[in-house]
Chain A
Amino acid sequence: RKEVEQDPGPFNVPEGATVAFNCTYSNSASQSFFWYRQDCRKEPKLLMSVYSSGNEDGRFTAQLNRASQYISLLIRDSKLSDSATYLCVVNAERGSTLGRLYFGRGTQLTVWP
Chain B
Amino acid sequence: NAGVTQTPKFQVLKTGQSMTLQCAQDMNHEYMSWYRQDPGMGLRLIHYSVGAGITDQGEVPNGYNVSRSTTEDFPLRLLSAAPSQTSVYFCASSYGWRQSSGNTIYFGEGSWLTVV
Contacts and interface: CB of A to CB of B under 8 A. Distances in A.
Interface residues of B, number: 25
Nearest to A30: B100
Interface in B13-65: 31, 35, 40-45, 48, 50, 56, 58
A91 B100 contact: yes
Nearest to B91: A43
Interface string B90-114: 1000001111101011011110000
Contact of A93 (B41, B90, B100): B100
A87 B50 CA distance: 24
Contact of A43 (B42, B56, B109): B109
Contact of B99 (A4, A32, A87): A32
A76 interface: no
Given A43-B90, A44-B90, A100 B100 contact: no
A-side interface size class = 20 to 34
A46 interface: yes
B98 A98 contact: yes
Contact of B50 (A45, A91, A98, A105): A98
Given A44-B90, A98-B50, A105-B40, A91 B104 contact: no
B104 to A, nearest CB: 5
Contact of B42 (A4, A41, A42, A91): A4
Contacts of A105: 40-42
